[in-house]
């Protein structure tokens, strides 16, 4: 891959896109392009087509999506389905039309069936029903995977899909209404720690409590966004044989164990209350990452180390957070 090839990273201002741009820049790629949503609405087919016609990128990395946790997916199913379909379809179709050399589509482990065998293998796609709490997002991502596969079959395109497990890291969404579980826990524990310290000034016996959704028993796997960026650049610089690859660590833990780890890192000394009236989601989502391992890539950053660095980033940037609008 030539270091001066024009690489367009869609969603470059988000957590994933910004991590990819940072790594590409560090590795010497000098011709990088991204556009904020205020200047290019990827849901607008005409605008996307004009953008490709003018810029003609050689490489496209699709890190753009409407994302959120269980609450956001339940409240806004139409937006999660339609917006993601529009974004990815416009990007994929324009990439076919304007002869993009390589297209990398990023999805999520939620594409796999709710009760699929563990760990999740790529061939389990479309073998049974999805998890209802995020099926709208999953359906859109499945359509994107199949569109990339169809482009490979019909046009011989080097289009491929990478399915990361649960992501976290710098530039994550910490809005409690729309965030995923790990950043939501960081914020909840931090704010409870601050409240507890304030209240203990007047009442030394005060015990602060943090309420978390579900039973805490589901098992989840987490990947630092810098590791995903490394996997994307690996896929960019190598010719991978298949169209679909899982990206993860191959190691999971329970939500209760995750909460305990984050509580310790943040330094919150109060109690955790589990609201088991709230949904748990899929019981387990562990990725089989053997295909990427065999191709030559493996995750590097441990979970505790990654959470500590993410909490440090949170502390440095918490005053700049904006409310996420759906």
Is the preceding peptide bond at 119 cis, omega within 30 degrees of 0?
A: yes
Residue 15 labeled ligand binder: yes
Residue 167 labeled ligand binder: yes
Residue 270 labeled ligand binder: no
Residue 60 labeled ligand binder: no
Residue 35 labeled ligand binder: no
Residues in a beta bridge with 105: 62, 161
**Cβ count within 10 A of residue 185:** 25
Residue 291 labeled ligand binder: no
Contact 110, 72 (CB under 8 A): no
Biggest CA-to-CA distance, the chain: 70
Residue 49 labeled ligand binder: no
Q: Which of 8, 29, 112, 137 is catalytic?
A: 137
Residue 188 labeled ligand binder: yes
Residue 66 labeled ligand binder: no
What is 89-108 written as a DSSP string? HHHHHHHHHTT-SEEEEE--
Residue 16 labeled ligand binder: yes
Q: Distance between CA 265 and CA 81 in Å, rounded?
A: 36
Contact 35, 13 (CB under 8 A): no
Residue 13 labeled ligand binder: yes
Residue 68 labeled ligand binder: no
In which residue are the tokens 């960026």 written?
Answer: 229
What is 221-285 written as a DSSP string? -EEEHHHHHHHHHHHHHS--SSSEEEES-S--EEHHHHHHHHHHHHT--SEEEEETTS---SSEE
Q: Distance between CA 61 and CA 82 in Å, rounded?
A: 20
Is residue 137 part of the annotated active site? The answer reads yes
Residue 267 labeled ligand binder: no
From 6, 92, 10, select the one nearest 54 (Cα to Cα).
Answer: 6
Residue 280 labeled ligand binder: yes
Binding-site positions for substrate = 188, 213, 220, 280
Q: So which residues are the catalytic ones?
A: 137
Query: Which residues carry a binding-site annotation for NADP(+)?
Result: 11-17, 106-109, 141, 164-167, 180
Annotated binding site: 11-17, 106-109, 141, 164-167, 180, 188, 213, 220, 280
């Amino acid at each position: 891959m030539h270091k001066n090839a024009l690489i367009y990273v869609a969603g470059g201002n988000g957590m994933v896109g910004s991590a990819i741009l940072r790594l590409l820049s560090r590795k010497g790629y000098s011709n990088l392009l991204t556009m904020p949503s205020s200047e290019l609405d990827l849901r607008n087919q005409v605008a996307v087509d004009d953008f490709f016609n003018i810029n003609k990128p050689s490489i496209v990395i699709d890190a753009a999506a409407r994302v959120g946790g269980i609450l956001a997916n339940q409240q806004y199913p139409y937006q999660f389905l339609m917006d993601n379909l529009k974004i990815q379809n416009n990007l994929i179709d324009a990439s076919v039309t304007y002869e993009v050399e390589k297209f990398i589509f990023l999805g999520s482990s939620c594409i796999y069936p709710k009760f699929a065998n563990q760990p999740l293998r790529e061939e389990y796609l479309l073998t049974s029903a999805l998890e209802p709490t995020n099926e709208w997002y999953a359906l859109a991502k499945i359509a994107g995977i199949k569109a990339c596969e169809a482009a490979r079959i019909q046009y011989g395109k080097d289009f491929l899909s990478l399915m990361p497990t649960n992501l976290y890291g710098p530039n994550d969404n910490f809005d409690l209404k729309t965030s995923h579980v790990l950043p939501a826990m960081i914020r909840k524990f931090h704010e409870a720690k601050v409240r507890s310290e304030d209240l203990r000034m007047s009442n030394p016996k005060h015990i602060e409590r943090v309420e978390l959704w579900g039973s805490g028993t589901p098992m989840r796997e987490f990947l630092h966004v810098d590791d995903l960026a490394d996997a994307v650049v690996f896929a960019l610089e190598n010719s991978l044989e298949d169209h679909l690859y899982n990206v993860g660590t191959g190691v999971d833990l329970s939500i209760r164990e995750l909460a305990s780890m984050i509580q310790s890192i943040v330094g919150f000394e109060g109690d955790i209350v589990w609201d088991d009236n709230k949904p748990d989601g899929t019981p387990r989502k562990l990725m089989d990452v053997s295909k990427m391992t065999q191709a030559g890539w493996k995750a590097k950053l441990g979970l505790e180390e990654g959470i500590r660095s993410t909490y440090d980033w949170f502390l440095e940037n918490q005053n700049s957070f904006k409310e996420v609008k759906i």
